[in-house]
Amino acid sequence: MFSKYAGGISLITITSNQYRLAPMYHFPVQFEDVYTIVKFFLQNSVLAQYGVDPNRICISGDSAGGNLAAAVAQQVNDLEVKVKLKIQALLYPALQTLDLDLPSYKDNENKPILPKSLMVRFWSEYFTTDVSLQEAMASNSHVPAESSHLFRFVNWSNLLPEKFKKDHVYASPIYGSSRLGKKYPGFLDPRAAPLLVDDTKLLGLPVTYVLTCQHDVLRDDGIMYVSRLREVGIEVIHDHIEDAIHGALMFITSPTDLALGHRVANKYIEWLNINL
């Protein structure tokens, strides 16, 4: 779908990473697939082969792709990767597994495309087909007490602007079984949940674009990431679409060719055109 709009950006090379999917394959397979490809691509010899300017590299993704883009951007920010990303663009990304009872999850619990029950299922199947994890996630009681320190990274009472808190009241976490955390540690891993990294891991990130949708359970994931990036001094542009639902970018082709989809796509492409 992105290629439909790519004509608006001059001299652009697009690579699309194919990775193995859940529930047939579980984390960290997906992350490792994408990380391996990106790390390979970020070599001067490979970039030269495809005619890519090493000073103009963007990593981007939407929804689950936004999750992987954010995670990979954090992990390639190390000394062994010589070519650095210029920008990253994250569209309604899934960024955390700890609190599945955020205001956005409550406000949009039964909204179309991605209701809370489906997002919980997607998260749990990313790690296992064991329904006990899905059941614990559904009740937001899956994080063991020994991982309580991680909640500071997703404390929406500190990270969300007032307009998104509405009348919601922050409640202390309900801790779950240590067994789940030990058996499926992936849901506590920042490579699966990029919001869980320490601030030091955010410091070297590139200029960032985040697009969020009001009627989306993942809305607050993106907004909290914007807050955390800004707190450590990363330049961030945040586009929030008040009348959009999750997956808005897919509404640009028949039979769901909608003005909303084109508006979202145009915002994204406009930012890329200016910043890439």
pLDDT digits (tens, 9 = 90+) for 134-175: 999 999 999 999 999 999 999 999 999 999 999 999 999 999
Identify the band that residue 5 occupies on the pLDDT scale cut at 50, 70 and 90: low
Token pair recorded at residue 150 = 């991680």
Q: At residue 89, what is the residue type? A: A
Task: Indicate the pLDDT class of residue 89, thresholds 50, 70 and 90.
Answer: very high
Side chain identity, residue 160? L
β-pair partners for 144? 176
pLDDT beyond 70 at 53: yes
The number of beta carbons lying within 10 Å of the beta carbon of residue 63 is: 22
Mean per-residue pLDDT over the chain, rounded: 95
Distance CA 230, CA 251 (A): 30
Q: Is the bond preceding 28 in cis, omega lying within 30 degrees of 0?
A: yes
Q: For the chain, how far is it from start to end, CA to CA, in angstroms? A: 19
Interatomic CA distance for residues 161 and 46, integer angstroms: 42
Task: Quickly state the pLDDT bin for 73 (edges 50, 70, 90).
Answer: very high
Q: What is the mean pLDDT of residues 31-58?
A: 96
Other CB atoms within 10 A of residue 74 CB: 18
d(CA 206, CA 5): 23
Number of domains in the chain: 1
Annotate 10-60 with DSSP letters as a single string. Answer: SS----------TTTS-TTHHHHHHHHHHHHHSSHHHHHHTT--TT--EEE
Residue 7 has pLDDT above 80, yes or no: no
* Separation of CA 265 from chain center: 17
- Tell me the three state secondary structure of residue 85: coil
In this predicted structure, what is the pLDDT of residue 17? 86
Mean pLDDT for 168-189 is 96
Per the DSSP assignment, residues forming a β-bridge with 208 are: 88, 236
The residue segments making up the domain with residue 30 are 2-10+18-275
DSSP structure class, residue 176: B
What's the CATH number where 232 sits?
3.40.50.1820
Q: Which residues pair with 58 in a beta bridge?
A: 87
Q: CB 88: neighbour CB atoms within 10 A?
A: 25
For residue 127, the model assigns a pLDDT of 99
- Catalytic residue IDs: 63
User: Would you give the DSSP letter of residue 166?
Assistant: T
pLDDT for position 77: 77
**158 is written with which tokens?**
């500190």
